Amino acid sequence: MSQIPQASAERPVPTSADVARLAGVSRATVSYVLNGTSAVRISEATRLRVREAADELGYVPHAAARSLRSGSSRMVLLPASAVPVGPLYSKFFNEFQWALRHLDYTVVQYGSLGLAPDEAARAWAELRPVAVVALGAPQLTAAGTQLLRRSGAKAVITLAPQPVAGAHALAMDHSQVGRCAGSHLLERGHRRIGVVVPQEPGLEMFSEPRLAGVRAAVEGSGATVVPLELAYEEESAAALAGRWRTLGLDAVFAYNDEYAMLLMRALQDVGIDVPGECAVMGADDLMLGRLLRPRLSTVQLDMATGQHLAEFVDRVVRDPDGASERHDLMVARTVHREST
Amino acid sequence: MSQIPQASAERPVPTSADVARLAGVSRATVSYVLNGTSAVRISEATRLRVREAADELGYVPHAAARSLRSGSSRMVLLPASAVPVGPLYSKFFNEFQWALRHLDYTVVQYGSLGLAPDEAARAWAELRPVAVVALGAPQLTAAGTQLLRRSGAKAVITLAPQPVAGAHALAMDHSQVGRCAGSHLLERGHRRIGVVVPQEPGLEMFSEPRLAGVRAAVEGSGATVVPLELAYEEESAAALAGRWRTLGLDAVFAYNDEYAMLLMRALQDVGIDVPGECAVMGADDLMLGRLLRPRLSTVQLDMATGQHLAEFVDRVVRDPDGASERHDLMVARTVHREST
DNA sequence: TTGAAAGCGGTACCAT
DNA sequence: ATGGTACCGCTTTCAA
């Protein structure tokens, strides 16, 4: 009960009323000055007094109160995904955030690790974001989408393999990646093609369409496709390499450059010549691939600029029921080096 | 097939008053039921009616209104850093978020890319977080820290090379990494040691203490340390390798495993034997290093568990003026393989 | 067991 | 050119 208040410790947070009192004006005036409202005219002398008072108190407006009153937060919520993401994605992501801020949105990543899809959607809805952009896990369900829209989200955008009802879908068609790899290997005369499927959880979103893309590419050519499970560990790669010759493969698409390096090393260690006896292909075009010997052939991914996506979000927010063009975020291109 | 409910576009977001009306009770009762307030007793029949009404309307409480009323948000704000982070960090980070949520905090990453330190602090303060954990850029200034504390943040925690006044400092002493590398190279008889300093911006935070650590390790041994600027590009590495012999170095600590791979490849390409003519050492103990030939010696970093840091945050929030023990997040250990 | 009502911090309309 | 004031959605006494 009888605490001795440390002057700095228990001082209450200053509000606009405090600023008004100190400047000898009303709260309304404080609001006008600090927001530069053009509809009302405030004398220069008053403006100055208000600004000084605000500075002196270290006043910072309360975002929750403001958005409560205005009814909208201009907050774009990005569920933080659990999937470990590479440098491509992180570059794209930074651009996206930057562009959104310049469109006057507040970008917030919400840690949703380990939440069930519908719990997550509910937690997001509590924040009343104007837009939700769900790029990774947890996936949005139709119910989750509906909940978000009901709670005022103008744009619910998802990166969906199969579209979710009510959400604007953004395509990031990873089957393209597989298709590129498949065609390339086919052209170079390979007929028995292995496709690495990582065992790490959370990657199915990418690995499944990539595998399907390879299958689509070789369709009708007489070539066969063999899925190969692989964990991102040396032992797993060594085991796979050990039984390699029994598989009778003459090429492998290794999911991405990192798995490709892992597998290629293991193959070389058991005396298999790359690309002579077996071609190896990666994806993502990391620096890594250029440093390997043989240099790694790969599928390069160009992500649309973050600016582009930011503008798309903004357009949907302003006109939620407008035509929902399907946006493709990604373009894949084969880069031929020495490993195929 | 699927219908887009146009009507939903203009339907207002349901509030607790709507739930109350539908259930035929007061807003107070709704609040009691939905929050399971134990101080008041509500009949089972009423509870049920309220729950059903809430479900039917798709009611989700408004976080801003709630925290405005209650005066605190239990939000932990993590400024999202621009620095591309590796798998270690991302594992640590996920743990941290998970642990915080289980202590009943809401974890929010705020995209602050390209904001000046004091602009950023102000933007964070508007959200009235109960804690701010600034692990990367933008750095907290003393002024920014003060602003945050004034606006109600109980804990302002920074990962600072030099402590910031008013903030709880968390040590992540990267000079340890350099010290490990330096001692190891010294023990193995090297006397002219190069240290790679990445040219990429945003990495000074790590590279400077690492360099300083090497210097500290060789202090008084008669060995010399030579900083080497290097960009993460093949051309830059090739150029450095081209003038390597004029430098007269017999060992190099390459900042981390990725730069080590880049440099080692370039050295091998100009015919320099590793480790015969020059030893190469990395850091971070990535899978990558074990796949190279020679296998890369490295400095392994163990990050304290996220659980650990989460508990620290919680402790500071509950007792902001308690003793501020200095926490070390990281332990470094040498892993000797073949490249040294 | 339930309801009425007073705010939390800001904003904006309507007076003055 | 300013001030008074009614809200925004929710929690929490206090009364009934």
Instruction: Say which residue, A83 or B49, is predicted with more confidence.
Output: B49
Lowest-pLDDT range, A106-115, A299-308, B203-212, B318-327? B318-327
Q: Residue ranges per domain, chain B?
A: 16-61, 72-171+304-327, 175-302
Mutate to test the interface with A, among B60, B258, B259, B290 (most CBs of A within 10 A): B60
What's the average model confidence in pLDDT over A75-101? 82
Closest nt by CA–C1' to B71: C8
More confident residue, B293 or A321: B293
CATH code of domain B175-302: 3.40.50.2300
Q: CB burial class (10 A; 0-12, 13-18, 19+) of residue A305?
A: middle
Number of Cβ within a 10 Å radius of residue A230? 23
What is the reported pLDDT for A82?
A: 62
| Residue B168, pLDDT score | 85
Q: Which amino acid is at B187?
A: E
Q: Which of the pair, A137 or B29, is modelled with greater confidence? A: B29
Share of chain A above pLDDT 90, in %: 71
Q: How high is the mean pLDDT of chain B?
A: 90
Note the pLDDT tens digit of each residue in A90-101: 888 889 999 999
Q: What integer pLDDT is reported at residue A300 of this predicted model?
A: 96
| pLDDT band, very low/low/confident/very high, at B85 (cuts 50, 70, 90) | low
Q: Answer whether any strand D atom is within 7 A of the Cβ of B22.
A: no
Confidence of residue A155 (pLDDT cuts 50, 70, 90): very high
Contact B107 A110 (CB under 8 A): yes
Compare CB distances from A60 to B101, B126, B261 and report the shortest one's residue: B126
Per-residue model confidence (pLDDT) at position B83: 62
A109 touches strand C (CB under 7 A): no
Residue A161 has pLDDT above 70, yes or no: no
Question: Do residue A150 and residue B58 have CB atoms under 8 angstroms apart?
Answer: yes
Q: How many CB atoms lie within 10 A of CB A88?
A: 16
Q: What is the CATH number of domain A16-61?
A: 1.10.260.40
For A261, A267, A300, the CA distances from A287, given in Å and listed in that order, are 12, 21, 11
Q: Where are the alpha helices (DSSP H) in chain A?
A: 16-23, 27-35, 44-57, 63-70, 87-102, 117-126, 142-150, 175-187, 204-218, 234-242, 244-247, 257-269, 287-291, 306-318
What confidence tier does B314 reach under pLDDT thresholds 50, 70, 90? Answer: very high
Please state which CATH class domain B72-171+304-327 belongs to.
alpha beta
- Give me the pLDDT at residue A167, please: 81
Calculate the angstrom distance between C1' of C5 and CA of B107: 34
Contacts of A147 in chain B (CB under 8 A): 58, 60
Residue A285: predicted pLDDT: 94
Structure tokens that stand for A92 in this block: 């794209």
Measured from Cα to the C1' atom, the residue closest to C11 is A69
- Residue nearest the C1' of C12 (CA based): A28
Position A10 scores a pLDDT of 67
Tell me, yes or no, if the two domains A16-61 and A175-302 fold the same way. no
List the end-to-end C-alpha distance of chain A, in Å, as a whole number: 77
Query: pLDDT tens digits, residue range B13-64?
Result: 999 999 999 999 999 999 999 999 888 889 999 999 999 999 999 999 999 9
Specify the pLDDT at position A7: 38
Residue B65 has its nearest CB partner, among A13, A68, A125, at: A68
